Structures are given as structure tokens and as C-alpha cells.
Chain A
Amino acid sequence: MNPVNPVNSGSSGSSGNGGGVVRTAFAAAGPAPGADADPITTEIVRQGLNAAADHMKRALTRTAFSPIIYEALDFAVAFYDTDMCMLAQAPTLPAFMGTLGFCVRAAVEGVGGPGSLAPGDVILYNDPYGTGSHPQDAAMVVPVFAGGELTAYSVIKAHWLDIGGKDPYSTDTLDVYQEGTIFPGVKLYDAGRLVGDIYRMILANSRMADMVIGDINAMVAGARAGGEALAAIVDRYGKAEFTACVARMYAHGEALVRDWFAALPDGVYTASGAIDSDGVSGVPVPFSVKVTVEGTRIEVDLTDCPDQTPGPINCPLPSTVAACRLAVAFLAGAGEQPNEGHFRPLDVLTRPGSLFHPRRPAPCFMYGIPADHAIELVLAALAEAVPDVPAASGGDINALVWWGEREATGTPWTDGAPHPVGQGASPRGDGAGALMYLSQSATRLTPAEVWEARNPWRIERMALAEDSGGPGTHRGGPGLDLSFRCLEDHYLTSALARTRTAPWGRAGGHAGRPGGLTVEHPDGTVEEHALRTRIPLAKDAVVHLRTGSGGGFGPPSGRDPQAVQADLREGYITEEHARRHYPHAL
């Protein structure tokens, strides 16, 4: 069950500069283990693990302090076995799917290995090269003991509002040390006792210490609750039967995904794209993916990409692997909550020292941009083999992060969120109106009334953008137009990633609109931004966010005239748009 090629994710040492290729593979060796486990108990254990993970998720969201956790659900909760294989993950941030194995391994190594763990320990870990994310994404790892024996780990990785770094949210860091304080695997609780020194280090390094402490309490409580639920399952069946059932559960997940790939025509499928900019040099960053389907296995090759960039769009290996897993899960996962078995048929090839396998101290704050783009390209490549694959969506999470001090009280505040995009049309029908991007698909948009009660804003517009969906036989989903009027001075970091490449159509469908951000300053100047850190906003500045729409599917001339008429009647498109793209329907 060990990875064939375990990755030393915590260190920068590796082969030569930019040379060589690393294969990250998790295939099980030999005959499927656990075949003799009772299928009934296996199913009950599988359900129990998923239910326990859901319980951990609820415990966290109901006590968390920052909206980025309780509204945006910017976290993942999971259980791992002692071989660092994923037992279960609750439906949380898909972008974190399967990243936590790297993270738990590195966290445990950081404190001296499994032998150094005791009941009541909680390990804090946020090294970007082990978590796959930026330092804001911090993990709490709780070793789970059953019958006195280390049996598993429960882990929560969640976005902290601030843990130092040059700005609360940065699109222009030059190395990882500018991005936040790093905890390379330290015990926050030692055998149940809070380690005060670490706690004070956290407090001293956060602009939003009160909220971060609240979130830490929520994470610790959640990870412990999950650990107790997991221990109860192990206790009920005993370690031996539990282990056998888990082996069979992995084999089951693996079989589901392998069956799906077996049905695809073997072949090599490719797609290319370009990221707007690395946030520093301002020039597009092109790359391509090569997907090989061979029998029941799939390989994603991400070696055709630039060397690691000066700006922070480098994607550490755990998130590169997670992006590939996510693309596969969207296609082949049958809607199941995944476990390690679902990941086994997938190999990922990367090149150390490159965009998708950077080495310390490459900056990686905006790691999500290449990860999301890779998901889009894996889907685009497989579209040749899987006719159902939709046209491109808005393709970006459209993250905005705001902060300042309240005028009346001087209290520091910060808020940040992703925003929904139009979805690509597919052979099944029109793309949906604004939904969160795939990698954030469990995330929810914060209500305007909650925003206004909390932040110095007035939301002047929250609307579907007319004429924005890519024309086609099936139309792309519209993007979103959002306007924020600032009622006090503050700052904004804009992390828009897809303003230069329009969401592509498929099979003759036209492209949708790319995203964009306009700031109207009170002095009348108007600026366009994409990746920009710390934009000063004065009272009465208005920020207009336009999120990308979905591409169309099939030629517009094939669109049912009645559908065009309905779009006109409901105001999704204007007369002019209809004349231009759908003259046959008028």
C-alpha cells in the first residue's frame, strides 16, 4: 500500500537542476488485498468512515470563526491510515482532495516519526511543500490510538485568515519566506497539554490573531471528535478485521475507477493552455498536459511546462497530484466519497524544478491557479475520448481578499472569498449559471446582507451577466457581475487568473467571456486589475468584478429557435446578441 515512489515532500534536495522526471504512483502491488474480508462489514466500515468524516466537518464549520471556513468551506477533513492511505474525506474543498497524505507524512516526520506520538497529541503543520498550499492553509494532525496502538490519523487542513507574510494575501511574492510563518510539524498539544510557546508564536505572527485562535480551537475540537469517531469504529470491529475491511474498501474504490477507464479508448490525449501571468513578470505562462489511457490505468504528464517561475504561481507536488485526482474524480468517481483506492489507477509525471514540481524556496502563494488550469486541461484533453466533457467554464475561482481597520473602532478586519463562474455547455444541455469553480465546488457565496452587516460595503449589484454565455447549440452559463461600494478606506488583493484566455467552446460552440476587475476610484480614475496585491481603496471607490462565463457546445446555428426566444424573453440575451449569433431563430 506504500507509494511505489514515495515523495520526499519536505525538503528541497533532489536530482539535478530541472532534470529528470518524477513519477508519483500509488498502485497497490500484488493481488488485491482484503479479498477475504466480509463484504457486509466492509460496507458498514466504509459508511462509518464517511459518516465520521462528515461529523468532523460539521464540528469544524459550526465553531469556526472565519467566514472562509464556515461559508467558503475552504478546508478539508480526512482520515489516513498509518501507511498514509486515505480512509475517507468528507465532501469539502475538492482542491484539497488527496493532498493530505503528503501533509500527514511530513507532519509526523517533523515531530520525529510515529514513535514520537502519544494520545492527546495535536501536530501543527503548514509547510507549503508538504501541504501543497500556501502557509495560510494549516493542518492539524491528530494521531488516533485504538487499543493503545497507533491506528490512523485524523487531519484538518483549513485556511487561516492570516499567519504573517508580507500581506494578508499576495500575488507577487518572490520566495516562500515572504508568504507566511512556517510551522514545519510541531506539537501544538503534547499528550493533551497545550504547548504555550507554539501558541504564543501563532498569536505573535497573525494580523488577525483572535480569529485565528478561534479557528484553531475549532480545528482541534473537530480533529479530536473525528479521531474519537474513528477509534470507535476500530474498537467495534478490532484492528485485524478493520484492516482487512479497509483493504477491501480500497480495492473496491480502485475497481470502480479502473472499470471506468477500461471503457475508454486507449490513447494519448493532449491539451495546451496559458496562465495569464506569474503575478510578477506579467507575461503568459504556457504549458500542456499529456494524458495517456492504457487499459485500466491513466497517466497525467505535466512535464511540458516552464521551470519554476519568479512569481508565486508554482504548484507544489501535493497540489499537482490533487488537481489530477480531482479531474479524474469528476469523470470517473461515480459521485462517491473517494478513498485511496480511487486514486490508485492514476500516475502523475512531473519535472522537479518546474511549475508543477517547484523546489524550495520558489514562491507558491497562488498555487491554485496552475492547479485549476491543469484540471481544465486534463478535462479538455480527455474530451476527445469522453464526448460528455463540457466546454470550458469561467475557469477561475476569482478570489478577492479585503482588509483594513474599521473607522469607528480601529479594529482590524479581513474577508475574502471565491466567486462563482458560468459553467460550460455540454451535450447534455446549457451550462449552469454562476456556480463556484470545480476546485471550490462545495463553497458558498456569502449573502450580500451578511457582507453588509459585517464589512464596510454596500453591494450595488449581484447579477447574472446578460449576453455573457458562450453561444452554441447549447449555451454556456452566464458569468456574474458584482459591484462593491467601499464605505470606508481599505485594501484589496485581486487574485483573478483567467482574464486573457476566454473560456473555450467545444464542437463548434463559441467562447464565453473571460473574467476581469475594474476599480472606479472616487477621483474618477478607472483601473483594470487581474493579479494585484494591496490595491488601496478610498471611501466611495467602487469595485466591479466580472466573473468568466461558460463556453458554448455545438454550432450556434444548431440552437433550437424556441430556446433562443426563451433566452430573449427572460433577458439572458439581448436582441442584438441574438441577431449576431442566432439569426436563424429570429
Chain B
Amino acid sequence: MPYDGDLPRTPPGRGGTGDGPRAARRRDRPGVSTPRVRSGAMTTIGVDVGGTFTDLVSRDTDTGQITVAKRPTTPAAPELGVLAAVDAAVPPESLARCAYFVHGTTVGLNALLERRGATVGLITTEGFRDVLEIRRGDRDDPYDLFWTPPPPLVPRRLRREVAERVAADGTVVRELDPEGVRRAAAVFAAEGVDAVAVVLINAYANAAHERAVPAALRDAGFAGEVSLSHEVSGEYREYERTTTTVVDAFVRHRMGPYLRNLDRGLRARGFTGRLLVTRSGGGALTLEEAAARPFETILSGPVAGAAATARLASSLGRSTAIAADVGGTSFDTALIEDGVLPLLFQGEVGGLPLQSPWVDVRSVGAGGGSVAYVDAGGLLRVGPRSAGAVPGPACYGRGGTEPTVTDAALHLGLIPPGPLAGGIDLDRDLATAALAPLAAPCGLPGADAVAEGVMRIAAAHMAHAVRGVTVERGVDPRRAVLVAFGGAGPLFGCLLAGELGASAVVVPANAGTFSAVGLVQADLVRGAARTLVRPLTDAALAEALTLAGALFTRLFTRLAGRGGGGEPADAVREIDLDLRHLGQEHTLAVRVEPGDTAGGVRARFTARYRRAYGHDMPGPLEIVTVRATVRAGLPGGPAPLPAPAAAGAPGERRDIDLWSFHRKRFVPSRAVPRAALTQATPGPLVVVEPTSTTYVDAGFTVAPHECGTLLVTREEKTL
């Protein structure tokens, strides 16, 4: 178990989580922190299963060497795709030396989106059977007369009420009737229920009744898994907590077997280390924790890219960075401040709210495959619909006829035509043929103008998303460094910089697989939260800290119960309070330390509030939720960043016709292999490497930069 007390101590300053105070508080107990795995003989492997590709990154902690690989995802049995990537990219001796295999998976997500999970029964308080179906009474689209909510995860006949009641202050108003639980169990048995979710009203304030339910279910012969709402979430809002608990019961059925199959497959290949699973809120869980709390992993997909950006920003000494990840179907963006990932405490998947920490990565439907069209009113529009992998962009020659962002980029010379990884041949004539018919309906002169428009509109979508994540946190995007990655990210760096008024874009080496780097940065993280509504006073703060202490104890007990040990030597405890002005609903999370006074906490809250909202107010504050988090690092310290491909084979510079958005026309230019770019070079040009292409417009200069990156800067006169 990673938390078994002799986990290697991690040096301070790791990217992704490390900041000064936290690192300083890391306990230094050298006696128990000797790495168990042979020194200098270790690898960490990260595998991220995406919708189209499975990315693998392997890091040798001794040599610092990083290997990356890309394999097609195998949706029917994702573990096979993972093992295939391992077989292809990791030599057996390297796998045998692997201490941590960090896995990012969409198995839970897909189970939820495709509604393939356990048959779940729900036990709830009398009078509240329909919470799951009433939801919050709102519509996803307020102007859609016909909008209907998705069917509830638990059908009405499997939602059973029991007589009991706890008040908001935790007092018992009515004792639990165990007979009601037994009646529910009889229904569940008759209906073939696999797993039961128990959500009693106000259980966040007093969980005694919820705790009594599993025994009553067992007495009645129910042998399946039971999820209790106060263990899953501990926060108030019965619809959100019910959904989270039901999702937990629903996906656990699939996640456990999947993870154990993968673990067995790895061990059969000689793996002796630990399998870890990435978490929606950043960091990673052990296999046992992930199998037991799968809802914590559901939104982990886009986190790796943000974590990799945090790591790179720290290495470059940039305090504020914006992750700009352009993939096939979406643009994902996150704001990184001082190396810390932005956290939220409620997410949403497929219209279902989840009370779980998640990294605030915003997605918009603008990627390489986004389809361009002219709407009924005669305006050119881009996305959110994507041509996907099949048929894909028109230029793939696989039957697609609708123009996409990739077609526009190819037509404009931003991507060189010719063979692409995976046996696809990019055909510019097909791209042009798809773009040209859009010109007349929206009054544009021809395919050039359409292609230019598609790129600018897609970039504007992306820029709006970036403004959302920055302005809401009181950050001016012009002061941040943009980190452009993903297959299509480096194509958009200059356009995004233009839209946002940013002056610098950094393109990491191997930008196409940069996200996977974030996997091998993961800390081990676990957290618990509990709603505790109190006015912020010194006494209430003391109560909150005591509650946090109890949550920590529970975290370690939970772990010990699953085969882990006590608190690891280098574990860092973090306590956050959700605070608000008395009367408000929305909260801001503020870090607290033992010994803090209410006044000190208030000052921190006020500073954050003022920065985010531009004003502050007198009046009392209120504590809403107490959050306890434990994190411990993986061995080996911060991972080195990937270097560009070896300089040995620079390839050829080629002359191309390249569109300049700055000059609004094609200009004679060059496609330069990455390895051949050795000095600052003014645009327009494109820099080519195997997994991505960096476009540099006229008015911008590109230069090799620290950590193997390219730095694209805007010339003053174009500002």
C-alpha cells in the first residue's frame, strides 16, 4: 500500500501541488522515508485512456528519461488497449522496475454516459422518494419548450421510503424503522438489485440512521454493495447528494472488476508496483480506494493536461499560466496560479451533479474535428458538433464532406499536407472542396476567406472559455503565459494570443502527448468533507478544526480498512473551509492552519473575495463546509519535462504558401522541422514535429526556450 508508513519522502517543490507553505509543512522523518524500491532502478508509468487514443508516458526516475507512446483506444475492453500500449512501449525489465502505474480512465464516465452500470435500489426518508426525479425543477435549455430531463438512474419502483427523520441540527425527530428497511430489501431481492444507495434527509448533520441501514439490509439477506450518502459526500442538498451516492453505487459495479483485471494483466507481465488511478480533484487514488469510491475518478479526464501545465509553469518560473489544450473534439482550459490547480467542489456529468472535488477545467466544443456550417440566418458557425474520428475531417479522405477546423488549417497551409500518424493522408484538395461551398451563403469571396473565418471563430470560442476561467478568478489573461498543447493547440497559439491580448505562448515539446506528462506528476490524494453551517467565530473555527481532525482520522481508518497502513510519513494535511457572507449561498474555499484565528481567516477570505468580485463587504461570515485533504508525493521528485526529438535528424525545411492572419493573405514561407529551429525566427512559418505543428503568424517570433519548449512572442508593433 502506498500509505503504509514507509512511502518515500518527496522533495518539496513538486509541480502541480507544491507551493511554499505546503512544502514547508511536509514532515521530515528521514528514518521512515527510505524508498522501498531499489534506488536508481525505478520507473513511473502513466497511461491516459482518451476517447480516441490511449497515451502512455514512462519515466525513469534515475536517468530522468521520458518515453511516450500513443495507441488506439479499445472501447469494448479498455484494459486491452492499455496493456497493448504497455507491450508496445515498455520493455519487460522496465515494467518490472515500475513502482507506480498511474492510470487515467474513462471507464466510470462511460458507464455513466452509456447508462451501463449496476441495478441500483435507493433507500430514502419517507416523503422524499422522488428527489431524484424532481431534481431542481430547472431546464438545461431555458428556451426549449420540449426539454425533458434524462430518466433517473433509479426507477421509481426501486426508490423505497423508510420511516425516520433527522432535523437540520442533527437531532432525531423520528427513530429509524428497521422494518421499512427489511421491506425494501425484499423488493430489491425480487427486482435483482445489485447495489443499494442510502440517502436519508439531513444525514450530513447526523449519520446514525444511515449507519444503521446496512446491518438491517444484511439481516434481510441483501448481500450486495451499499453506498451511504454521508460517506460519499457529507454535504447538504439532497438532490446533489442523492445523485452522487447513486452514481457511486452505479459505477462501482464496473470500476472494481475493470481495475482488478488491469492489475492482473500488469502483474502477469512482471509488474510488482502499485496501480494508482487519477482523481477528478487532482492527484491519484490507490486501486482499492478507486474501486471503493469510483465517483471520485469520473471527471479525471482533462486533469492531466492541467497538471502538466502546472509542472511546466513552475519550471519556467511563471506564476500564472493558462492551459490551452486543443484536441479533436474540444478545447479544454484551466488557470494555474502558483503551481496550484483550480479546484471546485461540485461537478456535472451527463446532466447529473456530483458532489466531489474536481479541477476546474472548462471545455468548449471547439477542436480539430469541429464542423463549420452556415446557419439559417446566413452566419458562419463552428462547432460544437464534431466530425469525430469517423468519418473525420474531409481532408482525411474517409468519406467526410463537411468542412472542419482541420480542413481550414490544412487549406491555409498551417498543417503540411501528406501522411499523418495512423495511416491518414491529408488531402488539401478535399479540404478546399469542402470549404468552398460555404462562401456564397454567407457572402464571403471564396474558400480562403471561409477557412480564415473558421479558424478565427474557433479561436474566439476558445478565448471566451479562457476569459471565463481567468476573469472569474480576478486574473487578467494578458498577464498569463498561454501553454498551447494537444494535437491542434500549437496551431491556435497566435490566434488565441491575438484574441486575448496575451504577449507570449509556450509550446511544450511533444505538445501532442503533453497531457500524459501530468499523469506521472500525481500525488496520492484523498479527501473528505462535511457541511457545518455556523457563523465564523473563534469557537466555530475550533469546532471546524475538531471536525477536520475527525475527518482525517476517518480517512486513515477508511484506508486501513482497505489494507493500507496509517498516515504516511510525508503526508501533508490540508484543511479548507467553504466560507460566505451570512445570507449568501455561494462560497469561497479558504485554507486554514491549526492556530488560525477567525480574524485571520476572515482576512484571507476578504482578500480572495475582493480579487474575484472587485468589492468586499462588512457583515458576518459563515462557515458552510469543512474539507480535509491528505496528500503525499510519489517518489523521485518532480518529473523532468520531455525533451524535443533528438537533434540528429532535422529533416528538411520546405517552402510553402502559408496564410497570414496578420496580413490577410497567403505569403511564401517555410515549414521548419523542430530540431532545425535553433534561433529566434520571425513568422510567418510553421514548426513541424511528429505530433503537432506550431503556427507562427507574421508579427510573431518563435525561439527555442527553456525546458525544451518553443516560445512564441508578439512583436511590439503589432500590439
Q: How far is the CB of B153 from chain A (nearest CB, A)?
A: 14
Asked if B614 and A224 make an inter-chain contact with CB atoms under 8 angstroms apart, the answer reads yes
How many B residues face the partner with a CB closer than 8 A?
A: 70
A272 to B15, CA, bound (A): 67
A436 near B141 with CB under 8 A, answer no
Q: Do B137 and A51 have beta carbons less than 8 Å apart?
A: no
Decide yes or no whether A472 CB sits under 8 A from chain B.
Answer: no
Contact segment of A11-19, A57-65, A131-139, A526-534: A57-65
| Contact call A58/B237, Cβ cutoff below 8 A | no
Among candidates B145, B149, B236, B584, residue contacting A450 with C-beta atoms closer than 8 Å: B236
- Whether A445 sits at the interface, judged by CB under 8 Å, is yes
Known contacts A259-B376, A450-B237; is-contact A432 B147 (Cβ 8 Å): yes
Chain B residues with CB below 8 A from A483, complex form: 127
The 5 A-B pairs of least Cβ separation, nearest first, read A420-B137, A40-B453, A252-B377, A444-B136, A461-B127
Cβ contact of A447, chosen from B127, B236, B457, cutoff 8 A: B236
In-complex Cβ contact of B585 among A59, A67, A379, A452 (8 A): A67
The yes or no answer to A71 lying at the interface (CB within 8 A) is yes
What would be 26 A-B contacts, judged by CB atoms less than 8 Å apart?
A35-B443, A40-B453, A47-B460, A48-B460, A55-B468, A71-B585, A211-B583, A214-B619, A220-B615, A225-B471, A252-B377, A256-B376, A432-B147, A443-B138, A449-B236, A450-B237, A450-B585, A452-B168, A453-B236, A462-B134, A463-B130, A463-B134, A480-B134, A483-B127, A570-B155, A572-B156
Distance of A569 Cα from B157 Cα, bound (Å): 7
List B residues 221-252 near A (Cβ within 8 Å): 236-240
Interfacial residues of chain A within 416-435, with CB under 8 A of chain B in the complex: 419-420, 423, 426, 428-429, 432-435
Question: Which of B65-73, B378-386, B418-426, B595-603 forms contacts with chain A?
Answer: B378-386
Residues B139 and A441 in contact, CB atoms below 8 Å apart: yes
Q: Which of A319-351 contact B (CB under 8 A)?
A: 329-331, 333-336, 338
Q: A348-379, CB under 8 A of B: which get 1 and which 0? A: 00000000000000000000000000000001
Q: Are A571 and B156 in contact (CB under 8 A)?
A: yes
B533 at the interface (CB under 8 A from A): yes
Chain A residue contacts of B236, Cβ below 8 A: 447, 449-450, 453
* Inter-chain contacts of A54 with B (CB < 8 A): 468
- Asked if B129 is at the interface of the complex by the 8 Å CB criterion, the answer is yes
The residue of chain A having its C-beta at the shortest distance from the C-beta of B459 within the complex is A44
Query: Assuming A221-B613, A453-B236, A480-B134, what are 11 further A-B pairs, CB within 8 angstroms?
Result: A39-B378, A91-B142, A252-B375, A252-B377, A335-B141, A435-B138, A435-B147, A441-B143, A445-B136, A570-B155, A570-B157
Q: Specify which chain A residues have a CB less than 8 angstroms from the CB of B139 in the assembled complex.
A: 435-436, 441-442
Do the beta carbons of A434 and B134 come within 8 Å of each other? yes
Which of A40, A462, A570 touches B456 (beta carbons < 8 Å)?
A: A40
User: What chain B residues lie within 8 Å of A71 (beta carbons)?
Assistant: 585
Q: Which of A54, A65, A256, A390 has the most CB of B within 10 A?
A: A65
| Contact A44:B456 (CB < 8 A) given known A55-B468, A434-B137 | yes
Contact A61 B586 (CB under 8 A): yes
Any chain A CB within 8 A of the CB of B131?
A: yes
Interface pair A39/B379, CB less than 8 Å apart: yes
Q: In the complex, A580 Cα to B159 Cα: how many Å?
A: 26
Neighbour of B442 across the interface among A39, A46, A336, A453, CB < 8 A? A39
> Given the complex, which residues of B lie within 8 Å of A450, measured CB to CB?
236-237, 585
Cβ contact of B134, chosen from A441, A445, A453, A570, cutoff 8 A: A445
Within 8 A of B (CB), among A31-82: 35, 39-40, 42-44, 46-48, 51, 54-55, 58-59, 61-67, 70-71
Check B377 against A462 for contact (C-beta < 8 Å): no
Quick one: which of B127, B201, B379 contacts A42, CB cutoff 8 A? B379
Is residue B204 within 8 Å, beta carbon to beta carbon, of the partner chain? Answer: yes
B134 touches A94 (CB 8 A): no
Partner of A436, one of B138, B156, B449: B138
A111 within 8 A of B: no
Does any Cβ of B come within 8 Å of A217's Cβ? yes
Bound Cα distance from A39 to B672, whole angstroms: 34
Q: Are B460 and A44 interface neighbours, CB within 8 A?
A: yes
Q: Is the CB of A46 within 8 A of B379?
A: yes
CB contact under 8 A between A449 and B202, given known A329-B143, A432-B148, A462-B134 = yes
Say whether B657 faces chain A, with CB atoms less than 8 Å apart.
Answer: no
* Interface membership of B452, Cβ < 8 A: yes
B666 touches A (CB below 8 Å): no
Per the 8 Å Cβ criterion, residues 453-492 of A in contact with B are 453, 458-464, 480, 483
Contacting pair B457 A40 (CB below 8 A): yes
